[in-house]
Amino acid sequence: MKRLTRRNVLRGLACCGVAAVGVDAFVVEPRWLSVTERSVPVPDLPAGLEGTTIAQLSDLHLSRLGSLEEQVVEAVRERQPAYILVSGDAVEKSSALPALTELVAQLRGACRATVFATMGNWEHWGGVPFQALHQAYKDAGATLLGNEGRLVDNAIVLIATDDHCTGGDDLGAALRFTPETGDVRLLLTHAPGIFDRMPAGALPFHLALAGHTHGGQARPGFALWTPPGSGRYVAGAYETSCGPAYVSKGIGTSVLAARFGCRPELPFFRLIRA
């Protein structure tokens, strides 16, 4: 029988600690959704838009639907956002498009929200054609945007760009959309490094949304790494050259199916009069 010594006890405790971290990182946190809620002040916001809620889904990295996606649908059902904005990396390959269509259909069934999306780097890297992705969203009643803008419900100016990380973005082209009406200006993009490339003289946004970083995905008190295209951004709220911005930690994982100190995030934003 092996003699019990202080060294053996410490070694055993260290092994238990490593095992606990592994279980948390690979089993617990990746399936444990965090819901965040923030208010977005908008000067002279019309009374009819007060309390309007926007949900942001980012970095889903879907292959199939599971318990995490069920939590997302339930959170949306509870909060009833008027708009859902998908900030890229929904899928990594074309074979996952049916799962994306099913998820978006479930989300729209849960809250009847208007859904817009843009592309991320993984759709480009995975060779997912824009038209195929566009059709997958369209089949669920949603709209995929490239470098373009839309006037939504005659009240919200939504400017979207393709992915900055892979060079698909054209912010100048998107900003050429300048409707005469619109009380709220939103920017939807994937990689947040684009926030610091706002052309001089461009109107600021009331809220700019991005993902891409996964919040670092593994954070033992700080982000060990963020992908190219992240710029200075990791996660959370920032003041940028294009106005207030929020970088989501995202829902899914990429490369390594683990999260540590960085749970999946589903942010909700509530418009209020400033």
At 98-122, the pLDDT tens digits run 999 999 999 999 999 999 999 999 9
Do residues 153 and 25 share a domain? Answer: no
Do residues 21 and 57 share a domain? Answer: no
CB contact at 8 A, 45 and 272? yes
**Structure token pair of residue 18:** 């490593």
Residue 50 Cα distances to 43, 67, 226, 247, 269, angstroms: 11, 33, 35, 23, 12
12-16, 35-39, 134-138, 235-239: segment of lowest average pLDDT: 12-16
Do residues 183 and 158 share a domain? Answer: yes
Show the domain range for 2: 1-31
Do residues 27 and 144 share a domain? Answer: no
**Radius of gyration for the alpha carbons in the chain, expressed in angstroms and rounded:** 20
Predicted confidence (pLDDT) at residue 19 exceeds the cutoff of 60: no
Helix, strand, coil percentages for the chain (3-state, nearest 5): 30, 25, 45
Rounded average pLDDT over 168-172: 94
Domain count for the chain:
2
Element containing residue 197 per DSSP (H, E): none
Do residues 38 and 24 share a domain? Answer: no
Rounded average pLDDT over 31-43: 96
Q: What's the pLDDT score for residue 20?
A: 46
**Percent of the chain clearing pLDDT 90 (strictly above):** 78
Do residues 144 and 230 share a domain? Answer: yes
Q: Please provide the average confidence, as pLDDT, over all residues in the chain.
A: 91
DSSP codes of every residue in 72-132: HHHHHHHH--SEEEEES-SBSSGGGHHHHHHHHHHHHHHH--EEEEE--HHHHHTT--HHH
Do residues 151 and 238 share a domain? Answer: yes
Contacts by 10-19, CB closer than 8 A, 24 or more apart: none
265-273: strand order across its sheet: 34-42, 265-273, 53-57, 83-87, 114-118, 143-144
Q: What's the pLDDT score for residue 42?
A: 97
What does the angle CA 79 – CA 83 – CA 89 come to, to the nearest 5 degrees? 105
Do residues 63 and 20 share a domain? Answer: no
Q: How far apart are CA 106 and CA 114, in angstroms?
A: 13
Predicted confidence (pLDDT) at residue 22 exceeds the cutoff of 70: no
